[in-house]
Structure 1
């Protein structure tokens, strides 16, 4: 770890509390999250993201995905509104601009990317979201949508300060034009450069996780164990960050808490299930036990 990086530990968590919702709180005031993604091949990704958002305290959830997955997803996550989007022959989301306009106007945080398997689809939806900015909406860009940001730099300018990127080393390599070995060799510097370039908080995931802010601040989390290196784990993290953002948590604090909750939950599940073989969907159940009451 670079000496300039701040450890993301219990002391940092205690010094940076998330908002507490007291008497008179409504589901709207607890925050509204919209998740856009999924495909016929990965129809369950949004379940992981959406449940994570609810488990960190978001009040309302909308899941926008391909039509063939929307009804089963709505039954699986009955707490959420399910939005059926047009579906292409390849099982990816089709042209859905009109279907998403209302949803985009009724949310506090958007998570874009989980489960999308086609870069052209990811790019189209990223452009759509970036072109309808609101000062009161925060955007989490995840998975394949991250690499698409390199061609939409000017579109993203209006989201400076309200943008969070959650890449692993491969996605960061695509965004920066580097190879994964270069990213792995100096993750803090590279995350910091991208954070300043895009005015975004960058959560660079690996065996250790680096969180870089546009002002140069860097957090370092030592990792929640090898069991977190499993399919769907990143979808859960993106949802946790999105849910915290919707509650009014500042981007750096939401990112720090999301990473900490994700990692600590991995450690807790590992004590009962073993260090390898637990499922990503087991992580969100631990979030309420770790959040302040």
Structure 2
């Protein structure tokens, strides 16, 4: 049975502070994020994820994408490293990608898989290969197409229990659970809690309202940052914000809660200057430092 949700508001934010990085802090002590995704069709997706991770205070970011997009991506985000991965004939991440990522996977604190991948087969091949690697301390964030293939890899994902975050919208949650989208919309909190317990993961079920469920039954509810956030790339930004907070040392539920709050509050801020509809996802990360505690 689903417990009562806690409002994700300024009171929760004050009661769940982020790790403090004071004198002597280095980029290494603020953690490492690796983001894997993108495709020839969506070559700039990781720009959104990588920049968001940096804007919330992540120390080092690596963006790994198809070879045809890697150089341009690196130029768009010069603060991050860019890793070129094998590319198949369809412009998706191809076989052998994990060999190029071996060192990154072993040293990163947070790993995001999914933004910008356009093929379920490519996502499944990549995720399956990553799950076979030794990532004993890494926290895994699954977004976009990587969520859709996770159901078939549930056994392999078990080794990441309590180190796993999903960020689905209702359509992706339908693929993950086998439920109808209408049922998910009508029972968001209950289904988020059930799935979180099933996978041992923090579940960030996005919508006009967002429910964040933890494996232990904790449930947060965020009332939404406005309809302007329903735009291409918005979810890529959220995944990056959560990963950056994880790399700083925040626990999964705290990172997810803060990430959703920052994302939503930034949407509200941008809406006041750009207008409620029509602002771009890439305008959100610049607001994060203004919202973070000093």
State if a TM-score over 0.5 links the two structures.
Answer: yes
* Runs of at least 5 residues in structure 1 that lack an aligned partner in the other structure: none
Q: Secondary structure at the match of 2:166?
A: strand
TM-score normalised by structure 1 residue count: 0.98
* 1:19-30 paired onto structure 2 within 5 Å: 19-30=19-30
Provide the C-alpha distance between the structure 2 equivalents of 1:221 and 1:133, rounded to a whole number of angstroms: 35
The Cα of 1:101 is off from its aligned counterpart by 0.7
The Cα of 1:41 is off from its aligned counterpart by 0.2
Aligned to 1:100: 101
Provide the C-alpha distance between the structure 2 equivalents of 1:3 and 1:156, rounded to a whole number of angstroms: 26
Provide the C-alpha distance between the structure 2 equivalents of 1:176 and 1:130, rounded to a whole number of angstroms: 20
Provide the C-alpha distance between the structure 1 equivalents of 2:52 and 2:208, rounded to a whole number of angstroms: 21
The Cα of 1:250 is off from its aligned counterpart by 0.1
The Cα of 1:119 is off from its aligned counterpart by 0.4
The Cα of 1:133 is off from its aligned counterpart by 4.0
Which deviates the most, 161-170 or 171-180? 171-180
Cα 1:3–1:197 change in 2 (3 A) is closer
Provide the C-alpha distance between the structure 2 equivalents of 1:286 and 1:143, rounded to a whole number of angstroms: 23
Aligned to 1:228: 229
Paired residues, what number? 292
**Deviation by residue 1:214-265 (Cα, 9 ceiling, x = unmatched):** 0011100000000000000000000000000011100000000000000000
Which deviates the most, 132-141 or 143-152? 132-141
TM-score normalised by structure 2 residue count: 0.98
Aligned to 2:133: 132
Q: Secondary structure at the match of 1:174?
A: helix
**Deviation by residue 1:108-144 (Cα, 9 ceiling, x = unmatched):** 1000000000001111111122222433210000001
**Deviation by residue 1:30-53 (Cα, 9 ceiling, x = unmatched):** 010000000000000000000000
Aligned to 1:241: 242
**Deviation by residue 1:171-209 (Cα, 9 ceiling, x = unmatched):** 000111111101101000100111000000000000000
Q: Secondary structure at the match of 1:114?
A: coil
Provide the C-alpha distance between the structure 1 equivalents of 2:158 and 2:72, rounded to a whole number of angstroms: 37
Cα 1:94–1:72 change in 2 (3 A) is same
Provide the C-alpha distance between the structure 2 equivalents of 1:104 and 1:177, rounded to a whole number of angstroms: 30
Cα 1:282–1:159 change in 2 (3 A) is same
In the alignment, is residue 268 of structure 1 matched against residue 269 of structure 2? Answer: yes
In the alignment, is residue 5 of structure 1 matched against residue 9 of structure 2? Answer: no
Provide the C-alpha distance between the structure 2 equivalents of 1:128 and 1:192, rounded to a whole number of angstroms: 28
